[in-house]
Structure formats: C-alpha cells, structure tokens
Amino acid sequence: MIGLPLPPPRAGRPASPELLERRRAVRRATPPPGEVRWKAEEFGGVAGIAVDPGDPPADDSAGPPIVHLHGGGYRLGGAEGWVGLAHRMARATGRRVIVPEYRLAPEHPFPAALHDAAAVWQAVADPAQGPPPVLSGDSAGGGLAVALALALRSAAAAESPAVPGPHRLVLLSPLLDLRADAPSYRLNAERDRLWGRSAAREAAEGYLQGVPPEAEPLASPLLADPAALAGLPPVLLFAGTGEALIDDATGFARRAARAQVAVEAHFLPELPHVWPLLLPDDPRSAEAMARVADFLGLS
C-alpha cells in the first residue's frame, strides 16, 4: 500500500476440499442475525459489511468508525459471520462498525490479509473527518490489527505519506505469536477446546508458507522490536485465563506497557476463546462491550 512498509504479495496454493467444507460449515453455523440491519459495502476495493448503531441504520453515525478484523486463523471466517458481534459493538459504542472480507490462506498467504486491511484502513481513515477510526480484532484478526497498527506506526516514524494510525486498539483473545510454542498451549490444552497447538500450527503453516514466524513481526507482532511498539495507541485487551492464547495476550500487555503504551487488560476465568463473539447472551460479553464503550470515552 502507498506509504506503508508492507512486504509484497505472494502466490499461494489452493485450499484443500476439507478446508473448503470447513469454511462452508462455519458460514452455516454463524448466519447473520435476522433482526440486525447491516449492509454489504466495499472499502478501498475490499468487500465487507457495515453495521450502524441506529435502527434503521444511518450513514452519518456519530464519531469515527470501528474497523473490526475477524478471526478464523487466517483461513476461516468471513464478515457476515461477525455481523452479530459488530451489531453489539455498534450498539454499545454508538459507532459504525466495519468488518472487512480480507482474503484467506492458503490461497492468499501472508501478507495478503494485511494488504486488504491496509486498503480498508486507507479508505476510511480520512483526516478531514476528525479523529481516526478505532482498530479492533479477535483471534487472528487481533494479530492482524496489531500488525496494521505497527505498519502505520512505522510509516509515521519514517515520515512517509500515510493515513493516521488508529485512535485506539481493541483486542479480543488475539493471536500474536505464530510460533505456537507458548507454555499456555500445553497448560490449557484440556480447557481450551476451540484453539490448540495443532490448529495454531496448521493456521501458521497455511498463512506463512515458508516465512519463519520469528522473522516477521507483521505476522507475529508479539515478537516486534520493543521500540516498534512505542507510540502505539492505547490498548484494550480481553482474554480468558484458560485459553491457549493467554500467554500471547499477557506477553503483549507486558511488552506494550514497557514501551510506555497505555494498556487496559481484562483476563477472566472460565470463559472460552473470543467469548464476546461466541457467548452473545452471557452478561460478561455485554460487560466487555460496555468496557469498549468506556474505553472509547462514550459511557
């Protein structure tokens, strides 16, 4: 992208029939809630959905939008499956929530998803419209959100012509280290049935396709140089203490805080991976959305 220091795109490989069927199964399992008003739109040439806080939706929703990057291990998921979460986030914050349909691996390996996220960001982060948007993400989308924030920060530090970085970062159970060798993968193997080491390594192999995870901080942002974290916006982070990814979350919180980044972290017991998405009726999911609103100064 213009002004952003991103690696060039690379050719991928076809998805297996098994993966294609898993994608179809995920779409069947997470249809958009029928009562939610949402629109399919395009942002910077990338398809996606937009959910407004009003009913009916209004194009002039107050405040800059939230760009939320969905999870799925870079190989599953899609914007429509995240309409419910986007709706709850929009209602809690009063902000428009945009969920891009970024390209998936293995057909489109790293850095295709990052290029798509950057294209969306450049399309919506208009300095003439006031403060920049909020950048949010869950699971792999959380890692992608941090990677985009780092690329935008690097461009700003180099005084390259680029759009502003995010006003705030919101991370839900983020996947931040594609080495997938943190102790919490072993310690929480029995408790976390949604995301384990084998799933993480499968996702990493399909996304990286030969790029060493420890060598590319835009794929494993937990491993970014501490100096690169300095200047990131304030971060709101959620994770469950029984998740395989709890070490990714706590590790990033520590590293960001040491780089003088403001971090508000919530580590809750007895909750699954990305619970605000998977448990919409749980009071703690509503509390998480309320904390997002508070973090944005809207409560």
What pLDDT digit, counting tens, does each position of 58-93 carry? 444 467 999 999 999 999 999 999 999 999 999 999
Catalytic residue check, 273: yes
pLDDT in tens, 180-207: 999 999 999 999 989 999 999 999 999 9
Give which of 238, 292, 297 is closest to 88, Cα–Cα. Answer: 292
User: Tokens in use for 221?
Assistant: 């942002």
- 263, containing H or E segment: strand 263-268
Quick check: 111 pLDDT over 50?
Answer: yes
Per-residue confidence (pLDDT) for residue 84, from 0 to 100: 94
- Catalytic pick among 136, 216, 243, 285: 243
Quick check: 226 pLDDT over 60?
Answer: yes
Quick check: 57 pLDDT over 50?
Answer: no
Catalytic residue check, 266: no
- Catalytic pick among 61, 136, 139, 154: 139
- State the average pLDDT for the chain: 92
Please, are residues 74 and 147 in contact by the beta-carbon 8 Å criterion?
no
Quick check: 97 pLDDT over 80?
Answer: yes
Helices (H), the chain: 17-29, 83-93, 112-124, 140-157, 183-187, 197-208, 226-229, 246-258, 275-278, 283-295
Per-residue confidence (pLDDT) for residue 35, from 0 to 100: 79
Per-residue confidence (pLDDT) for residue 161, from 0 to 100: 56
When mean pLDDT is compared over 21-35, 156-170, 240-254, the highest value belongs to: 240-254
Sign of CA dihedral 154, 156, 160, 162: positive
Counting Cβ atoms within 10 Å, is residue 127 exposed (0-12), middle (13-18) or buried (19+)? Answer: exposed
- Catalytic pick among 68, 87, 167, 273: 273
**pTM attached to this predicted model:** 0.95
Q: State mean pLDDT over 271-277.
A: 94
